[in-house]
Each structure stands twice: as C-alpha cells, then as structure tokens.
Amino acid sequence: MTLPGHPHVAYHGDTLHLDDLPLDDLAARFGTPLYAYSRRAMLEALAGYQRALAGREHLICYAMKANSNLAVLQTFARSGCGFDIVSGGELQRVLAAGGDAARVVFSGVGKTRAEMAQALQAGVACFNVESEGELEALNEVACGHGARARVSLRVNPDVDAKTHPYISTGLKGNKFGIAHDRALAVYRRAAGLPGLEVVGIDCHIGSQITQAEPYLDALDRVLDLVEAVEAAGIALPHLDLGGGLGIRYTDEQPPAAEALVGAMLARIDARGHGRRKILLEPGRSLVGNAGVLVTQVQYLKSGGDKNFCIVDAAMNDLMRPAMYEAWMDIVATRRGTAPVQTYDVVGPVCESGDWLGRERRLAVQPGDRIAVLSAGAYGMSMASNYNTRGRAAEVMVDGAEAWLIRDREAPAELFRGEHLLP
C-alpha cells in the first residue's frame, strides 16, 4: 500500500519500505536516528521540471539549502542540474560533488567580500544581487580582481505567497531582494559599473507554496519590470523564476511541477518573452518527499492529560516541527498488535519544544521504530549538535540497493576543534 503523496514509501504486507527495502532493515544495519532517501524519487521529481522545459534554453539550479549531502548534489549534477547556493561553503560542496561552477547562481542577502572573491575565482554563472550595498561591494571586489561579475537583481515583487511567515520572501516587509519600485534605478546603476555585467532578473517569493496564482502574479510584475528595463537600453537575457513549490505533508495539493512551469511559460510566451533563457531554483519539491527520518521508540509514558512516545530522534535532528510548528506525517515501520493510542512524539533533548509530532495515533511499543515522512528537505540540512548529540547517519536507496552517504557523528568529533585552557 503506497502512502498518499509518497510513491516510493509503501507498506508491503505489514512492513514499511522505501523503494524495495524495509526501513526496519535499514535501521538495523545503520542505526537510528537515520535519514533515508530515495534516489528514484528525486529523479522523478526532477523529471517533471525537465519535461516542462524541454525545447527551451534553460538551467535548473537545485536549491541545495534543502539538502546539501554530497551524494544528493552528485545525483543532481549527473542529471544536468546547476545549483543555487547561498554561501561560500555551499560552493565548496558543489565542487566537491563534481558540480560545475559555471552552472551555479549565488543568492543570499549577506554575501561577504571573501565569498564574492571565491565565487568570482571559481567562475559562477551569476550573482543574484539583493541590495544596493551588495551591488557596490561586488563591483569593488570584481574590479580588484580584474574581473567582471555577471549579475541579475533579485526583485521583490511584494506578492503574498500565502505560506508560513518565516518562509515568505516576496513581501516588501521581508529582508530579501530589491524593492520593485527601486529596481529600474538599481539596474541603471549596475549597467554603469565597470566590474559588473547585467545578465538577467531574479524573483523568489517564498517556500512551500501550494498555489499557482502567487507565481503568476509575481511573474507579471517581473515582466512589467523587464519591459521597463529593456526600454531603458539594458538587456536582460535570462529570467530566473526562483523556486518554492510546495510538497504534500498532510493534505496539501500543490500543482505538479510540470503544470506550474507550463502555466508560467505560457504567460511568458503570451507577453512576448519566449526567447529568454529560463532559470528555475527548485529545492524542497525535488527532495522533500524522497526522504524519511527513522527513529526508535525508547519509552511510552503517560503524563496525565497526554501520552508521550519518547524516541531517539530529537529537535536537533529535525528542527521543522519546533521552528515552524510543521506537521509531518508519522507512521510505524511495522504494523503490529499494540493498542492504538494518541501520543505526542517527543525526543530526549532538554526542551519542551523538542517534539516531532503532536496527537498522533500510533500502535507502538518500546523497541519499535517509526518513520517521519517528507523529511528529505530541511531535515538534515538544519540539524545541529545541541546537547552534544551527533547528527544522524544518511543513506541513499535506489531500488534494492542502499549506500551509506554520511557517517553518524561520534561525540569526540563534536569537540575535536575545542581547546582546554592551560
């Protein structure tokens, strides 16, 4: 029985599988907590974007902040993807995974001069500039290195993506991008600076977006600006439409990537801009539903008004519930005979905010394992070592094969760079 929204997660009899492998077997082999990802699920998600863009000049740049494991980056690099990065460290990861810097766009509001120099030296495709101060700094760095930095301006269209306020990025009250009404003046300034080459325009309005309308509204505002900028004599060869497409966590019904991108391309064509190169920056929609977090039940505890299922994964392993009050489906890896009860699923970290799910109906007993679904995005990439807890191991699954793609951290590794006083 395949789980809704998770075509690569299914019960075969009473045992939960990822692709062709029982999650209990993976947990027994690699331990828990354990992140497990389906390579096939990632490539199927990518294929929707690739089909939509077939025949167009385009570049799909995986937004690697969603999941930056080297094997994940390698998977997308081998499939023709570029990368959307937000730090110098992410650029080093791309290169270590075999990615091509010439297929990298560098986003983020706080690029340092050292990161700018690093990216220039590596030869990134484009800097997505997010402020006037950044524009001036990048020009200085480029001139100092005898180079010209290729830039697009990330424009803030003041469009409500109708998502969680922490992951909304396209409103004028957000820190991201250049205000729509300032963009033409900033493009004029960019075109006049000797260390810069204007190559496009960028827009990104948020994350976990489940409707097409905000994208189309933002696109119309961006195309209005494209026409004004080109009327001023500044060419914009590419349109970077960002990312942010949501996935199913509960009952969300986001548009399929192919349908959404098709609608955006139709709008672009209708307004006479079909000749431009299209860039997209999907992240969560490529990896979110490809991953699960497997954790083992330690204790069952009655707290009077609540029952607690205490597991060996915690908020340091999966921050989304504590940070965003995010709902992520939780299921048993083996359907057993224990009575079904309502539990708050919590971890061992010394915080009341350490919970993975509230009021979940589960039939489990100590020693059983459960799986948190849709954990491929912003799970391991946001994990920490709070309470001196080593981060989980990671495994990539492809059909009946599995590879360890990250070792579990040992405590000694966590304080290896620290020093006692004399």
Contact 302, 339 (CB under 8 A): no
CA-closest candidate to residue 204, choices 165, 138, 271, 157: 157
The residue whose two tokens read 């139709």 is: 266
3-state secondary structure of 43: helix
Contact 1, 13 (CB under 8 A): no
Which strands, in side-by-side order, build the sheet including 6-12?
2-3, 6-12, 15-18, 21-22
The residue whose two tokens read 């915080």 is: 351
Rounded CA separation 326/348 (Å): 19
CA-closest candidate to residue 279, choices 207, 168, 202, 176: 202
Catalytic residue selected from 61, 81, 203, 350: 350
User: Beta 238-240 vs 15-18: how paired, if at all?
Assistant: unpaired
Structure token digits, residue 170:
């396209």
Q: Where are the alpha helices (DSSP H) in 132-276?
A: 132-144, 183-191, 213-231, 257-270
**Which runs of E-coded beta strand occur in 39-146?**
58-63, 82-85, 104-106, 126-129
350 is catalytic: yes
Rounded CA separation 143/164 (Å): 40
Count the neighbouring beta carbons within 10 Å of the beta carbon of residue 230: 13
Greatest C-alpha distance within the chain = 72
Q: How far apart are the first and last CA of the chain?
A: 61
Q: Where are the alpha helices (DSSP H) in 330-422?
A: 411-414
User: What is the Cα 248 distance to its own chain's centre?
Assistant: 14
- Look at phi and psi of residue 231 and say left if phi exceeds 0, alpha if psi is from -120 to 50, else beta: alpha
Using the CB atoms, write b or e for 303-342: b if 16+ within 10 Å.
eeeebebbbbbbbbbbbbbbeeebbbbbbbbbeeeeeeee
- Which residues are marked as active site? 350
